[in-house]
C-alpha cells in the first residue's frame, strides 16, 4: 500500500493559481490520511462525569489517558475547580483588555509575586500562553549584534521567538556540551550572548545538563534562559523544575513556565531580574497587544500551585509510576529513551507503524500521543504519566501495548 505523507502541519505546495485560498483547497493530506485510516488528530473528548482518575471520555467510552501533561492530576481537583468557579463569580469571564491598560487584576499581581518567590527570582510576569511567553521574550529581549545559543531540540515557541529576533541564532547539538563550548568560543568578543534550553525536553523527556551549561556559559558573560514547561511540578525539592533538581535554580537568569501542564490551567510566565521583567511588560508586543489571562484561569493556577507545594507526594507518586512504566516496557523489549521524568518515549522507527499503533491502542481504549519527525529526532510513542495513574493502569497499558505491537507485526 502506498501511504500518504503523514506530516500534516507543513506548508501545502502552491498550485500557482491566482487565489491565496487555492493552496488550502490543494491541501489534501488530512483527508488522504483519513482515507488510509491513519489520521490521528483532533479526537474530540467529552466531559469527565463518570470517568475515573486517569480516564477521559471519548464518545461513549471511557479512555485511559496516557497523553496528557496534567502531570499532577490537578485539572479536575475540587479545590482548583472551585477556585476557578469562584473567580468567575467575582470577576466575570474575561478581562477585555491588555495588562498594560485596563486588563490587570489583583489576582495577576498576587500570582506573579508567588511565581517569583517559587523560582527564586526578583519578579515574574504572566502571559496568555506558554507559547506567547517564549515567543514574546526571546524576540523582545535580544537585538541585532546579540547571539542566541540554542539547544537543537527546542520547542517551536522558542524557535519562533528566535526567528522573530534580529539576533544571530546558533544551535548546538542536543545536550552536547562539547559542541556548546565550541559555539561559545566561535562568538565574537563584542557579541552579547543568551543561552536557551529546556529544563526537561518536551518530546524526549530528558533533562538538560544545566550545571554544565552554566559552567561553560558564565565566563563569557552569557545569560541563561530555561523553559521549565515539563520540569515544574515534576522535578526539584519544591517542584520548581530541572534547575532546582540539579541545584542551580539561583544561577539561571530567566525561568519560563507554562500553566498548561502541572499547573492545570492555561497561560505562562517569565521570572527573572526585576529590570528584565519590567522591560518585557512594556516592550514585548505579544504581551502589550493582547488581552490578559482571565480571572478563572489565574485563580486555577494559584490553587494548583498551592497544592503542588503542600502535597509533594503527588510528584513522588508520578515519578514512581513513570519509573515503573519504563522498567516494564524495557523488560518487554521496547526501546525506551533514557530519562527520569514524567515523559516515557518509546522509539517506533516507522511512522506508519506508529500511527497504526496509536489507532489500534485507541480502539483498545488507551490514548497515547504519536510524535513524528521532525517534531522529534526519531518517531516516538510519547507516553506521559500523571499522578492519577495506578499500577493497575500501567499494567493494562504495558499488556495492551505488547499485544497490539505483536499483532501489527511492529518490532519492539
Measured between alpha carbons, how far is 205 from 234 in angstroms, rounded to an integer? Answer: 11
Measured between alpha carbons, how far is 158 from 174 in angstroms, rounded to an integer? Answer: 15
Task: Select 134 or 139, whichever has its Cβ closest to ligand PLP.
Answer: 134
Stretch of 128-136, 234-242, 247-255, 280-288 lying at the interface with ligand PLP (CB under 6 A): 128-136
Stretch of 5-13, 129-137, 283-291, 337-345 lying at the interface with ligand PLP (CB under 6 A): 129-137
DSSP-derived 3-state class of residue 189: coil
165 near ligand PLP (CB under 6 A): no
70 near ligand PLP (CB under 6 A): no
Enumerate the H helices of 74-185 as residue ranges: 78-91, 106-118, 130-141, 156-164, 177-185
Nearest-approach distance from CB 43 to ligand PLP, in angstroms: 17
What are the residues facing 269 on neighbouring strands?
A: 126, 257
Q: Which of 229, 296, 304, 387 binds ligand PLP (CB under 6 A)?
A: 229
227 near ligand PLP (CB under 6 A): yes
Stretch of 81-89, 127-135, 309-317, 368-376 lying at the interface with ligand PLP (CB under 6 A): 127-135
Stretch of 50-58, 227-235, 239-247, 334-342 lying at the interface with ligand PLP (CB under 6 A): 227-235
DSSP-derived 3-state class of residue 62: strand
- The side-by-side arrangement of strands in the sheet containing 61-65 is 55-58, 61-65, 366-367
404 near ligand PLP (CB under 6 A): no
Let me know: does 230 contact 69? Beta carbons within 8 Å.
yes
Q: Which of 119, 134, 169, 262 binds ligand PLP (CB under 6 A)?
A: 134
Task: Select 115 or 229, whichever has its Cβ closest to ligand PLP.
Answer: 229
Stretch of 10-18, 104-112, 123-131, 136-144 lying at the interface with ligand PLP (CB under 6 A): 123-131
Let me know: does 393 contact 64? Beta carbons within 8 Å.
yes
E strands, 221-279, in order: 223-227, 254-258, 268-272
Nearest-approach distance from CB 28 to ligand PLP, in angstroms: 27
Task: Select 134 or 404, whichever has its Cβ closest to ligand PLP.
Answer: 134
Task: Select 108 or 155, whichever has its Cβ closest to ligand PLP.
Answer: 155
Nearest-approach distance from CB 267 to ligand PLP, in angstroms: 7
Break the chain down into helix, strand, coil percent, rounded to 5. Answer: 40, 15, 45
- Helix 177-185 / helix 210-217 crossing angle, nearest 10 deg: 20
Nearest-approach distance from CB 122 to ligand PLP, in angstroms: 22
Q: Show the site string, 176-215: x = touches ligand PLP by CB under 6 A, - = not.
A: ----------------------x---x-------------
129 near ligand PLP (CB under 6 A): yes
Measured between alpha carbons, how far is 38 from 247 in angstroms, rounded to an integer? Answer: 44
What are the residues facing 343 on neighbouring strands?
A: 384
Task: Select 55 or 204, whichever has its Cβ closest to ligand PLP.
Answer: 204
Residue carrying C-alpha cell 491565496:
20
Let me know: does 124 contact 270? Beta carbons within 8 Å.
yes
Nearest-approach distance from CB 60 to ligand PLP, in angstroms: 29
Stretch of 130-138, 277-285, 359-367, 398-406 lying at the interface with ligand PLP (CB under 6 A): 130-138
Binding residues for ligand PLP, total number by CB under 6 A = 14
Q: Which of 157, 175, 341, 384 binds ligand PLP (CB under 6 A)?
A: 157
Task: Select 135 or 334, whichever has its Cβ closest to ligand PLP.
Answer: 135
Query: Binding to ligand PLP (CB under 6 A): which residues in 239-298?
Result: 258, 260, 268
Chain residue whose CB lies nearest ligand PLP: 130
Nearest partner of 407 among 361, 371, 367, judged by Cα:
361
Nearest partner of 133 among 307, 263, 9, 2, judged by Cα:
263
Task: Select 165 or 393, whichever has its Cβ closest to ligand PLP.
Answer: 165
Nearest partner of 319 among 197, 236, 204, judged by Cα:
236
What are the residues facing 383 on neighbouring strands?
A: 344
Nearest-approach distance from CB 199 to ligand PLP, in angstroms: 9
What's the Cα-to-Cα distance from 411 to each of 2, 52, 183, 256, 380, rounded to whole Å? 20, 32, 38, 38, 13
Interface residues with ligand PLP (CB under 6 A) are 129-131, 134, 155, 157, 198, 202, 227, 229-230, 258, 260, 268
Amino acid at each position: 500500500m502506498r501511504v500518504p505523507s503523514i506530516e500534516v502541519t507543513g506548508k501545502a505546495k502552491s498550485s500557482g493559481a491566482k487565489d491565496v485560498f487555492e493552496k488550502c483547497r490543494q491541501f489534501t493530506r488530512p483527508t488522504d490520511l483519513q482515507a488510509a485510516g491513519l489520521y490521528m488528530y483532533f479526537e474530540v473528548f467529552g466531559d469527565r462525569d463518570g470517568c475515573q482518575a486517569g480516564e477521559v471520555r471519548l464518545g461513549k467510552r471511557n479512555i485511559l489517558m496516557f497523553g496528557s501533561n496534567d502531570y499532577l492530576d490537578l485539572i479536575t481537583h475540587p479545590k482548583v475547580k472551585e477556585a476557578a468557579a469562584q473567580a468567575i463569580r467575582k470577576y466575570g469571564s474575561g478581562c477585555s483588555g491588555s495588562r498594560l491598560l485596563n486588563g490587570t487584576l489583583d489576582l495577576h499581581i498576587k500570582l506573579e509575586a508567588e511565581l517569583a518567590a517559587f523560582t527564586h527570582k526578583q519578579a515574574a510576569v504572566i502571559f496568555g500562553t506558554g507559547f506567547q511567553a517564549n515567543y514574546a521574550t526571546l524576540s523582545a529581549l535580544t537585538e541585532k549584534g546579540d547571539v542566541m545559543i540554542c539547544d537543537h531540540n527546542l520547542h517551536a515557541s522558542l524557535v519562533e521567538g528566535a526567528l522573530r529576533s534580529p539576533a544571530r541564532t546558533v544551535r548546538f547539538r542536543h545536550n552536547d556540551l562539547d559542541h556548546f563550548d565550541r559555539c561559545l568560543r566561535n562568538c565574537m568578543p563584542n557579541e552579547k550572548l543568551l543561552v536557551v534550553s529546556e529544563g526537561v525536553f518536551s518530546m524526549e523527556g530528558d533533562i538538560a545538563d544545566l550545571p554544565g551549561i552554566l559552567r561553560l556559559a558564565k565566563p563569557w558573560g552569557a545569560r541563561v534562559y530555561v523553559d521549565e514547561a515539563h520540569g515544574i511540578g515534576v522535578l526539584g525539592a519544591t517542584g520548581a523544575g530541572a534547575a532546582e533538581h540539579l541545584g542551580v535554580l539561583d544561577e539561571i537568569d530567566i525561568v519560563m513556565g507554562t500553566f498548561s501542564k502541572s499547573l492545570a490551567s492555561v497561560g505562562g510566565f517569565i521570572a527573572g531580574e526585576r529590570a528584565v521583567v519590567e522591560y518585557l511588560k512594556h516592550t514585548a508586543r505579544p504581551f502589550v497587544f493582547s488581552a490578559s489571562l482571565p480571572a478563572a484561569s489565574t485563580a486555577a493556577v494559584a490553587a494548583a500551585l498551592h497544592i503542588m507545594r503542600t502535597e509533594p507526594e503527588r510528584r513522588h507518586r508520578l515519578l514512581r509510576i513513570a519509573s515503573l512504566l519504563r522498567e516494564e516496557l524495557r523488560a518487554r523489549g521496547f526501546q525506551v529513551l533514557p530519562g527520569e521524568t514524567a515523559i516515557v518515549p518509546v522509539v517506533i522507527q516507522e511512522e506508519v507503524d506508529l500511527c497504526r499503533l496509536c489507532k489500534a491502542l485507541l480502539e483498545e481504549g488507551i490514548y497515547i500521543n504519536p510524535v513524528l519527525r521532525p517534531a522529534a529526532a526519531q518517531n516516538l510513542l510519547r507516553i506521559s504519566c500523571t499522578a492519577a495513574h495506578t499500577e493497575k493502569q500501567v499494567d493494562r497499558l504495558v499488556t495492551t501495548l505488547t499485544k497490539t505491537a505483536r499483532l501489527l507485526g511492529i518490532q519492539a
